[in-house]
Amino acid sequence: MKSEGRNAVRYVIVGVLILIVLAPVVLAADSEQERLASSAEVMEEILKIPDALPQDLLNKAECVAVMPSVKKFAFGVGGSYGKGALVCRTGNNFTGPWGAPAMYRLEGASIGFQIGGQATDFLLLIMNRKGAESLLRSKVKLGADAAVAAGPKGRAAMAATDAYMRAEILTYSRSRGLFAGVSLEGSTLRQDNGANEELYGRRITAQEIVSGGKVSAGQALVSVLQKASPTNESEPSSLK
């Protein structure tokens, strides 16, 4: 009887140890799924705002990055940080349907005069192949490694200014229901390697995720983009 009791205790201890080891992995995977769900929700809500995100620009975007609820603190000189997802069109020239999401981090410094912190959603449109490939290779400092500009809203996009034409990435924010172009110059966008590993179950780069094509995670976000912009309408010269 004593032997059986000791064996039962051992089984309980082993079971508890297994839970301790596996729980962080399961919770991390859940948190990445939640991040993808939040990104899909933000994207869908932005698309519903009248006269906001220009359809023409979305149709010409090679990739889209969504950063839900980025926390930004500014006390004269402030910082921002957040986690989100990058989704690109598939194919060598980004002409296919939207592919699997890769997890990314947005980090940076900003000059501001507001005191306190507020959660803000950020949307980034990657407008040409050079910008997309830069993001897929390594971290990108906006304004230094990639030309960036605050995105135009609504009919303003019809006026193709030099700033918009030269920009590889157009950036927007939504805070307290207000959607507008915003400067993220100086911020850094980088792959979230740990999150990608948790989400896909192995070490994997953003390039491998995007080139893989098959969508095994983040279906809601991909579906929102595919419905909103099924075809890449970029100028052929920008895809070379």
Q: Does the pLDDT at position 158 exceed 70?
A: no
Per-residue DSSP letter, 98: B
Contact between 83 and 192 (Cβ < 8 Å): yes
What is the bridge-based pairing of β-strands 148-150 and 169-175? Answer: parallel
CB atoms within 10 A of CB 37: 14
Mean pLDDT of the chain: 79
pTM for this one?
A: 0.80
> Which residue in this structure is represented by tokens 């969508």?
215
Rounded CA-CA distance 21/25 in Å is 8
* CA distance linking residue 206 with residue 44, whole number of Å: 23
Winning range, highest mean pLDDT, from 32-46, 58-72, 167-181: 32-46
pLDDT tens for each residue of 57-70 = 999 999 999 999 87
Instruction: Check pLDDT > 50 for residue 14.
Output: no
Compute the half-sphere exposure of residue 127: CA atoms within 13 Å on the CB side of its CA: 20
| Residues linked to residue 82 through DSSP beta bridges, in sequence order | 106
Asked if residue 6 has pLDDT above 60, the reply is: no
Please answer whether residues 135 and 172 qualify as being in contact, where contact means their C-beta atoms are separated by less than 8 angstroms.
no
State the pLDDT at residue 234: 85
Q: What percent of the chain has pLDDT over 90?
A: 49
148 backbone dihedrals φ, ψ, rounded to 5°: -135, 150
**Residue 240 pLDDT grade (very low, low, confident, very high; cuts 50, 70, 90):** low
DSSP-assigned beta bridge partners for residue 73: 79, 117
Residues 27-56, mean pLDDT to the nearest whole number? 87
Predicted pLDDT at 80:
63
* Of residues 64 and 77, more confidently modeled: 64
pLDDT digit string (tens) for 101-127?
A: 999 998 875 533 332 456 789 999 999
Confidence at residue 11, expressed as pLDDT on a 0 to 100 scale: 43
Pick the more confident residue, 53 or 157: 53
For residue 91, pLDDT beyond 70: yes
Kindly report, residue by residue over 133-154, the tens digit of the pLDDT.
999 988 999 999 999 999 998 7
Strands (E), 38-195: 63-75, 77-88, 102-111, 117-126, 140-141, 148-150, 169-175, 178-181, 188-191
What whole-number percentage of the chain has pLDDT above 70? 72
Q: How far is Cα 72 from Cα 180, in angstroms, rounded to an integer?
A: 16
Q: Residue 115's pLDDT is what?
A: 29
At 51 the pLDDT is 86
Q: What is the pLDDT of residue 65?
A: 97
CB 122 within 8 A of CB 172: yes
